[in-house]
Amino acid sequence: LEPGDQALDSGKPNSSSDLPLESLKKVLTEDSAAGKVKRKRAQTPLEKYYLKYLCVTDLSTQSWCEQQMVYGRELPQLQVPETVVLLNTGKSIHLARELEVHDVVRVHVTSREDSWAIKILNLLSVIPELQAGGCVRELPVFGVIEDVFLMGIIDELCYSATGELELRELKTRGRPFMPSGAQKKRDYFQVCLYKYIFDAMVQGKLKPDVITSHIQLRPEQPLGSQIREHAQKVGFTVTCFGDLLELMYLNLTLSDIPGIDCLKIEYSHQESNTLLGTEVVRFEEEKVREKAQHYLAYWKGQREVQGVEIEEAWKCQSCSYSEICDWRKKRAEGPEQRTVKKFV
């Protein structure tokens, strides 16, 4: 309680400047009527879409065109069918690759904590594999950037012949050639974010309370019976969600798993399943942070949504939302200059 609240609560003034209760009520009523009482602040996009966290792919998609990412969330039914087919085929290929190294087990969940427990168990179960120098696929990673919780799934982590920990991201393409520079830039940002989050995790920066406070989960929540049974099978005895969080924190920080040394993106052609090429990505922490800061400012309501800048207007030609795009219309109409922050 603030001192003023106390005065309202007890009906007694607590300083020389305090007014008696009836006078305070009168002042408040008059102020409200005169429109002086603060209006409710506008919702941030995170609040508007009821999001407690973002996916790494939300940010990488945003780096292609932020306005398109927003339309994709609000009007997914307008996406051209070819894009949907391409995405679904990509998902099937990823699942097939995961099944080459993991078994998929169905587990019944009874609470939000149970759903997150599965993600954490998936992570915990691959740590020994990584410690032993093995290769893991579909590794969940979590972290916080600019006070926003982010989640992602790393396609593959392996040790190279020289002992470096290598991240490999698989991108499948509908066309049998390498992507444009702009598409590569989006993919580079995605893998850099994975490294940023993963390295923070193994450096012990992801404390249990960071997860519970951002996602609003209860550490004392008992885990469902199927989750506890599954945890037992993979070697962990746990009763509540907090037990799993502690285990994750300890296992990550005491495991001696290094940070990621090398980032690689493999592009392959969906239909023929042939490798089109491999890109090695340079990680520049400062640039990644600056870029993430810019994109997260939109989610936190610190700036308006932006579309592509004039030099990238070619992106609008293949965009599912070009007919309805507000950004595009205003750019065509107005003398007003719209500027978009440019990253190289």
Out of 59, 61, 71, 189, name the contact with ligand SF4 by CB under 6 A. 71
Residue 70 CB, nearest approach to ligand SF4 (Å): 8
Segment interacting with ligand SF4 (CB under 6 A) among 6-14, 67-75, 79-87, 137-145: 67-75
Q: For helices 3-10 and 21-33, what crossing angle results, to 10°?
A: 110
* Residue 180 engages ligand SF4 in binding (rule: CB under 6 A): no
Residue 206 CB, nearest approach to ligand SF4 (Å): 33
Choose among 171, 205, 203: nearest CA to 188.
171
**What is the identity of the amino acid at 87?**
L
Residue 61 CB, nearest approach to ligand SF4 (Å): 11
Q: What is the DSSP string of 18-63?
A: PPPHHHHHHHHHHHHHTT-SPPPPPPPHHHHTT-S-EEHHHHHHHH
Cβ closer to ligand SF4: 27 or 297? 297
Q: What's the rounded Cα separation, in Å, for the pair 240 and 222?
A: 4
Residue 336 CB, nearest approach to ligand SF4 (Å): 15
Residue 326 CB, nearest approach to ligand SF4 (Å): 8
Q: First and final CA of the chain: distance in angstroms?
A: 49
* Residue 61 engages ligand SF4 in binding (rule: CB under 6 A): no
| Count of residues of this chain found to bind ligand SF4 when the rule CB under 6 A is applied | 14
Q: Calculate the CA 336 to chain-centre distance.
A: 33
Strands (E), the chain: 54-55, 136-145, 148-159, 165-173, 262-269, 275-281
Residue 83 CB, nearest approach to ligand SF4 (Å): 12
Q: Which two tokens stand for residue 125?
A: 């179960």
Q: What's the rounded Cα separation, in Å, for the pair 115 and 119?
A: 7
* Residue 137 engages ligand SF4 in binding (rule: CB under 6 A): no
Residue 179 CB, nearest approach to ligand SF4 (Å): 16
Segment interacting with ligand SF4 (CB under 6 A) among 92-100, 241-249, 253-261, 322-330: 322-330
* Residue 295 engages ligand SF4 in binding (rule: CB under 6 A): no
* Residue 328 engages ligand SF4 in binding (rule: CB under 6 A): yes
Out of 91, 175, 322, 338, name the contact with ligand SF4 by CB under 6 A. 322
Out of 325, 334, 342, 343, name the contact with ligand SF4 by CB under 6 A. 325
Out of 63, 68, 172, 221, name the contact with ligand SF4 by CB under 6 A. 68
Cβ closer to ligand SF4: 68 or 221? 68
Q: What's the rounded Cα separation, in Å, for the pair 164 and 156?
A: 14
Q: What's the rounded Cα separation, in Å, for the pair 13 and 11?
A: 7
The number of residues making up the chain comes to: 344
* Residue 208 engages ligand SF4 in binding (rule: CB under 6 A): no
Q: Which two tokens stand for residue 177?
A: 């050639």
Q: What's the rounded Cα separation, in Å, for the pair 303 and 2?
A: 31
Q: Which two tokens stand for residue 206?
A: 């992801």
Out of 149, 189, 249, 327, name the contact with ligand SF4 by CB under 6 A. 327
Instruction: List Cα–Cα distances, 144 to 148, 213, 283, in angstroms.
Output: 5, 11, 18
Give the three-class secondary structure for 131.
Answer: helix
* Residue 241 engages ligand SF4 in binding (rule: CB under 6 A): no
Q: Which residues bind ligand SF4 (CB under 6 A)?
A: 65, 67-68, 71, 307-308, 315-316, 319, 321-322, 325, 327-328
